[in-house]
Copies of this chain bind each other. A is one copy, B any other.
Amino acid sequence: MKLSTKIRYGTRALVYIAAFGKNRYVSISEISEKENISLKYLENIMTLLKSSGLLRSMQGAGGGYYLAKSIDELTLADIMYSISGPIFLVRCLSEYECNREMECVLKDVWNDVNNVLDKKLRSIKLKNIVKKRKRKIKSFA
């Protein structure tokens, strides 16, 4: 139940782009430097975020990444699912293969927990995080 570095770094990258990438492309090298994340590793992560449609990109000098959707639309759930696939606490919630269904009550229980988690993740939008960030920076000024 630990978040992977991919999810943590990926979220930071998206928050960075959301905060500093208005009307411009943000390069991996910039994010890597400012957020202190290995360039090459971040590359892998950006690829995931792009191929699941959260980011778009522009190649070549002056190029970089930009958000594919509005910051009011993108949620933590989107980010996590893009990077690690949909979250199912137990496999039987997605695939079928349990032969103990008669006796099994835990499926419903885990499903319940899963839903609570999912709902929470969906409720946290990139916009909220960026706002929070601005308030925080201000309070230090």
CA distance A88 to B12 in the complex (A): 18
Known: A90-B8, A100-B36. A109 touches B1 (CB 8 A): no
Number of copies: 2
Knowing A76-B113, A116-B117 are in contact, say whether A106-B89 is a contact too (CB < 8 A).
no
User: How many positions in chain A have a CB within 8 Å of any CB in the partner chain?
Assistant: 37
Contacts of A117 in B (CB 8 A): 113, 116-117, 120
Grouping DSSP codes into helix (H, G, I), strand (E, B) and loop, the A interface class, with mixed when no group exceeds half, is helix
User: Which residues on the B side are within 8 Å of A120 (C-beta)?
Assistant: 112-113, 116-117
Q: Which residues between 1 and 26 of chain A lie within 8 Å of chain B, taking CB atoms?
A: 1-3, 8, 11-12, 15
**Is A103's beta carbon under 8 Å from chain B?**
yes
Contact residues in B for A113 (Cβ distance below 8 Å): 76, 117, 120-121, 124
**Who on chain B is nearest to A80 by CB?**
B1
Partner among B76, B88, B121, B132 whose Cβ is within 8 Å of the Cβ of A2? B88
Residues of chain B within 8 A (CB-CB) of A129 are 105-106, 109
With an 8 A cutoff between CB atoms, is A136 at the interface?
Answer: yes
With A8-B106, A105-B132, A113-B121 already in contact, 8 other A-B pairs whose C-beta atoms are closer than 8 Å = A1-B87, A2-B88, A12-B106, A102-B140, A105-B129, A109-B124, A109-B132, A113-B124
